[in-house]
Amino acid sequence: MTASTDAAIVKLEDVHLSFGQTQVLKGIDLTINKGDAVSIIGPSGSGKSTILRCINALVTPQSGKITVAGTRVDQLTKESERIQLRKRVGIVFQQYNLFPHLTVLDNIVLAPIKILGADKTATVKLARELLEKVRLSEKADAYPGQLSGGQQQRVAIARALAMKPELVLFDEVTSALDPETVGEVLWVIRDLIRDGMTSILVTHEMRFAEEISDTVVFTENGRIVDHGSPQQIFHSTNNPRIRQFVGGLSGGGRGAVRDGEGI
Amino acid sequence: MQDMNLTGLFIDLMGRLGLNYEFLATGYEAQIWRDGFITTLYLVAVTIPVSLIVGLIFAACLTSGRLWLSAPVRGFVELTRNTPTLVQLMFSFLVLNTVVSNMVGGAQNNPLSPFFWVVAVVGLHVAALHAEAIRGGIEAVPSSMIEAARGMGFSQFEILRYVQIPLAFRSSLPAIVNGLISLVKSTTVGNAIAVSEITYASIMVWTQRDNVVEMMIVLLAFFSLINFVVARVGSWVERRLAIPGYGL
Ligand SMILES: Nc1ncnc2c1ncn2[C@@H]1O[C@H](COP(=O)(O)OP(=O)(O)OP(=O)(O)O)[C@@H](O)[C@H]1O
Ligand SMILES: [Mg+2]
């Protein structure tokens, strides 16, 4: 329990994980301090999503230590204990995954009320505040199917925040969006980070990562190849793979990157 | 008195059309017949919720990913889907019921009536049909949506309760309504074990009165009416639950 006394809110130590024969994480070490924003970048299949899933106990590694907000995640044996952890760690995915049969407001209040047992009136009030924050107050009674992708993703972020998480994980939350709507989602995340929310983002938005991150982590083939300040990773790295990756992405015509900066 | 006159008028009117409803003027046969309607309605009213609740439980077992839950239900579903309801009812009443009687020390102590066995057999048979439809709907919920719910701290049961069943119920509603329509018709198997539902009562009357056609007209109209109501309620529920902007 000493882990909770220092500033680290997430600590991974030599985490190894395989799916069957496939080694996906081959010794991940990562420390994230409270209030930090960390971006994880790297090629497809390098294990970025798997790192996030380890942090909120959606998958369990074969070996290594994972400490999240004072909890030794790798030592949790019961599903009920993992559920307790997940309630404290928000995660937002590429496919917004709103519940299609519930209104925007009900999507946000369902888990706090039914899963956390939070007070209904207070939760509805919180949900309306969060909707305001993501600039969707007027959509409270709409259904997900009536919203654009960007709007749905902002609701998904509000839904995660309604659980009052201690940190939030974002897994390529803009990758499924039209270029025009990427900006509005990044805007919401930027605000959140400015408010001091501990955030871990897997992203392909290099400009955005550079702008908002305290630390950038580059993964390749199940390992963290390098990590450092955005300046280091994006501009002064000697690692040719990172240069190629970063250059390839921001130079290549990903409209999303352009839109990411334009707000 | 008013009632008697109306009945008399009806019998007279039908008689002119060549239809023999004279039994209505008798006490005994008319009573059996009226009770037949009530028994059938009662059977339908009890068996529909039984089939829905058990169907939901079956579907939950089938999709639980736990063999000790899914395997017995899968076995039961296959058995009940592939064998005639009439045979199932005979077996239940002649074999299972006798076993129960022996266990409780004689038929006089057996609380299970023929009515119970019709509800159980027809209810579970249709529950098996519902279960297959709902299972399809549960499995159609994208795994990414389930992972998102897990990520928020939903347990497997809470995902079923708040996400999968609400979606699966909507997508399987047309199939469920079909199942309920066949349930209404299947309640007539009760006549094989002397449950005095409407077909049983009608047969009693027409063997005495030789008025098969007259009884048939009422019988067919009665079942058509019940199923008309079932279908209307079904489409009302479907409209109520329709999700704006969602292509289910
Ligand atoms: N449930 C699973 N079962 C088997 N293999 C898996 C599973 N999840 C991920 N993998 C494999 O693990 C590797 C890493 O996957 P992961 O999703 O973490 O990569 P990623 O860095 O997020 O990639 P992307 O940028 O494409 O999202 C991939 O090769 C993937 O095929
Ligand atoms: Mg990924």
Question: What pLDDT shows up at residue A120?
Answer: 97
Count Cα neighbours of B207 within 13 Å in the Cβ-side half-sphere.
6
Count of structural domains, chain B? 1
In angstroms and rounded to an integer, the radius of gyration of the C-alpha atoms of chain B is: 22
Which sign, positive or negative, has the C-alpha torsion A158, A164, A170, A171? negative
> Which residue segment(s) compose the domain that B125 sits in?
29-226
Query: Cβ distance A25 to A42 under 8 Å?
Result: no
A91–chain B Cβ distance below 8 A for any pair: yes
Q: In the predicted model, what is the mean pLDDT of chain A?
A: 91
Question: What pLDDT shows up at residue A247?
Answer: 79
Cβ distance A114 to B162 less than 8 Å, yes or no, reads yes
Kindly give the number of the ligand 1 atom that is closest to the alpha carbon of A51.
18
**B229, amino acid identity:** V
Residue B81 lies in a domain: yes
Count of structural domains, chain A? 1
Which tens digit of pLDDT belongs to each residue from A107-117?
999 999 999 99
More confident residue, A252 or B208: B208
Closest Cβ opposite residue A111 in set B145, B154, B241: B154
> Which residue segment(s) compose the domain that A181 sits in?
8-252
Instruction: Single out the residue of A191, A187, A215 nearest to residue A201, CA to CA.
Output: A215
Beta bridge partners of A19: A22
| Cα B224 to ligand 2 centroid, rounded to whole Å | 56
Which tens digit of pLDDT belongs to each residue from B78-133?
999 999 999 999 999 999 999 999 999 888 889 999 999 999 999 999 999 999 99
How many beta-carbon pairs under 8 angstroms link A with B? 83
Query: Cβ distance B176 to B130 under 8 Å?
Result: yes
Query: Cβ distance B152 to A157 under 8 Å?
Result: no
Number of Cβ atoms within 10 Å of the Cβ of B198: 27
Residue B247 lies in a domain: no
Does A3 have pLDDT greater than 60? no
- What is d(CA A200, CA A203) in angstroms, rounded to the nearest whole number? 9
What does DSSP say about strands A8-19 and A215-220: parallel, antiparallel, or unpaired? Answer: unpaired
B18–chain A Cβ distance below 8 A for any pair: no
Question: What pLDDT shows up at residue A25?
Answer: 96
Number of Cβ atoms within 10 Å of the Cβ of A37: 25
Closest Cβ opposite residue A87 in set B144, B153, B241: B153
Cβ distance B248 to A100 less than 8 Å, yes or no, reads yes
User: Which run of H or of E encompasses B54?
Assistant: helix B28-62
Residue A127 in tokens = 């949900």
3-state helix, strand, coil in chain B (%, to 5): 85, 0, 15
Question: What pLDDT shows up at residue A236?
Answer: 87
The residue of chain B nearest to residue A101, with distances taken between CA atoms, is: B243
CB < 8 Å to A95, chain B:
142, 144-145, 148
Label residue A250 by pLDDT band (50, 70, 90).
low
Q: Averaged over A189-200, what is the pLDDT? A: 96
Residue A21 lies in a domain: yes
Query: Cβ distance A207 to A260 under 8 Å?
Result: yes
Residue B202 in tokens = 């009608």
Closest Cβ opposite residue A145 in set B154, B167, B244: B244
**A103, amino acid identity:** T
* CB burial string B158-174: b at 16+ within 10 A, e below: bbbebbbbbbbbbbbbe
Which tens digit of pLDDT belongs to each residue from B176-220?
999 999 999 999 999 999 999 999 999 999 998 889 999 999 999
Question: What pLDDT shows up at residue A7?
Answer: 80
Residue B23 lies in a domain: no
Ligand 1 near A203 CB (within 6 A): no
Q: Helix or strand or coil: residue A28? A: strand
Cβ distance A143 to B167 less than 8 Å, yes or no, reads no
Query: Cβ distance A189 to A135 under 8 Å?
Result: no
Query: Cβ distance A94 to A185 under 8 Å?
Result: no
The residue of chain B nearest to residue A165, with distances taken between CA atoms, is: B152
Residue A1 lies in a domain: no
CB < 8 Å to B158, chain A:
114-115
Ligand 1 near A145 CB (within 6 A): no
Kindly give the number of the ligand 1 atom that is closest to the alpha carbon of A19.
4
Number of Cβ atoms within 10 Å of the Cβ of A166: 17
Residue B21 lies in a domain: no
B237–chain A Cβ distance below 8 A for any pair: no
Cβ distance B167 to A100 less than 8 Å, yes or no, reads yes
Q: In the predicted model, what is the mean pLDDT of chain B?
A: 93
The residue of chain B nearest to residue A54, with distances taken between CA atoms, is: B151
Question: What pLDDT shows up at residue B218?
Answer: 94
Residue A169: phi, psi to the nearest 5?
Answer: -105, 135
Residue A181 lies in a domain: yes
pTM across the whole model: 0.88
Does B26 have pLDDT greater than 70? yes
Which tens digit of pLDDT belongs to each residue from B107-118?
888 999 999 999
Question: What pLDDT shows up at residue A237?
Answer: 87
Residue A149 in tokens = 């992708």
Which tens digit of pLDDT belongs to each residue from A28-37?
999 999 999 9
ipTM above 0.90, yes or no: no
Number of Cβ atoms within 10 Å of the Cβ of B16: 8
Residue B177 in tokens = 């309504």
The residue of chain A nearest to residue B156, with distances taken between CA atoms, is: A79
Residue A2 lies in a domain: no
Q: The domain that contains A187 carries what CATH number?
A: 3.40.50.300
Does B69 have pLDDT greater than 50? yes
Q: The domain that contains B106 carries what CATH number?
A: 1.10.3720.10
Residue A261 lies in a domain: no
A140–chain B Cβ distance below 8 A for any pair: no
Question: What pLDDT shows up at residue A19?
Answer: 95
- What is d(CA A105, CA A138) in angstroms, rounded to the nearest whole number? 11
Mutate to test the pocket of ligand 1, among A46, A173, A221 (most ligand atoms within 8 A of CB): A46
Residue A132 lies in a domain: yes
Residue A262 lies in a domain: no
Which tens digit of pLDDT belongs to each residue from A195-223?
999 999 999 999 999 999 999 999 999 99
Question: What pLDDT shows up at residue A97?
Answer: 95
Does A252 have pLDDT greater than 90? no
CB < 8 Å to B162, chain A:
99, 110, 114
Residue A101 lies in a domain: yes
